[in-house]
Amino acid sequence: MKTKEEIFIEQINLKRREAYHELFRRFYRSLVIFALKYIDEQGEAEDIVQELFVSVWEKEEKFMSYASFRVFLYNAVRNTCLNRIKHKKVEEKYAAYRQLHPENPELDDYDIMEEEIYRGLFKTIDELPPRCKEIFLLHLDGKKNEEIAAQLKITLLTVKTQKKKALRYIREKMQDFGLLYILLI
């Protein structure tokens, strides 16, 4: 006999509407509270969770177990929060720069291009598979491969492989931005 959790995951994988009502009932509140540990704004935390639920509905990903699905949800919320924090820092740096240099119109085009590149980069990072994205974000935080492996309890080879995969994907997606994005990374 199947457990309630097994039936729930089957229904999620089959994209049944009732399962998404159950997803909301089971996880919405706890995921919003979890997001608030990273993001101070209630509305933004709610948006993150709602966007995650939409992506679960739209993606073709199949979940093997309730436990792995739960881990996926929490990792996705954490990674999205961290990405938004990084993006806010970029915007804050840009705003601070503009306050210090409001009279320099020659840099406007460069600044706009730089902002577009950062937006494209963070959008591309968001498209990475969850584990790959998590490893790459830790790499961007300045962590060494060994630290990432220890923190995530995975092998050093997995860290290196996932970083290579992320960089290859980012390079491929960011080709339109040319060499400029390389200078910014």
CATH number of the CATH domain containing 143: 1.10.10.10
Residues 56 and 113 reside in one and the same domain: no
> Ramachandran region of residue 128, left (φ > 0), alpha (ψ -120 to 50) or beta?
beta
Domain for residue 103, yes or no? no
Pick from 93, 77, 160, 175: which is nearest to 126 by CA? 77
**How many domains are there within the chain?**
2
119 CB-near residues (< 8 Å, 6+ apart): 87
115 CB-near residues (< 8 Å, 6+ apart): 90, 94
Q: What is the pTM of this model?
A: 0.54
Host domain of residue 132: 109-184
Residue 61 token pair: 């990903």
CATH number of the CATH domain containing 72: 1.10.1740.10
What is d(CA 71, CA 153) in angstroms, rounded to the nearest whole number?
A: 14
Residue 122 token pair: 């963070």
- The torsion of the CA quartet 117, 121, 122, 124, rounded to 10 degrees, works out to 140
What is d(CA 150, CA 144) in angstroms, rounded to the nearest whole number?
A: 10
Cα–Cα–Cα angle for 135, 71, 16, rounded to 5 degrees? 125
Report the pLDDT value the prediction gives residue 45, as an integer from 0 to 100. Answer: 93
pLDDT tens for the chain, 185 residues: list them: 889 999 999 999 998 889 889 999 999 999 999 999 999 899 999 999 999 998 888 888 888 899 989 999 999 999 999 888 887 777 777 677 667 766 655 556 666 667 777 777 788 888 888 888 889 888 887 888 898 898 888 988 989 998 999 888 888 887 766 544 444 44
- Which of 36, 71, 86 is the last residue in one of the domains? 86
Report the pLDDT value the prediction gives residue 76, as an integer from 0 to 100. Answer: 92
Residue 94 token pair: 């840009």
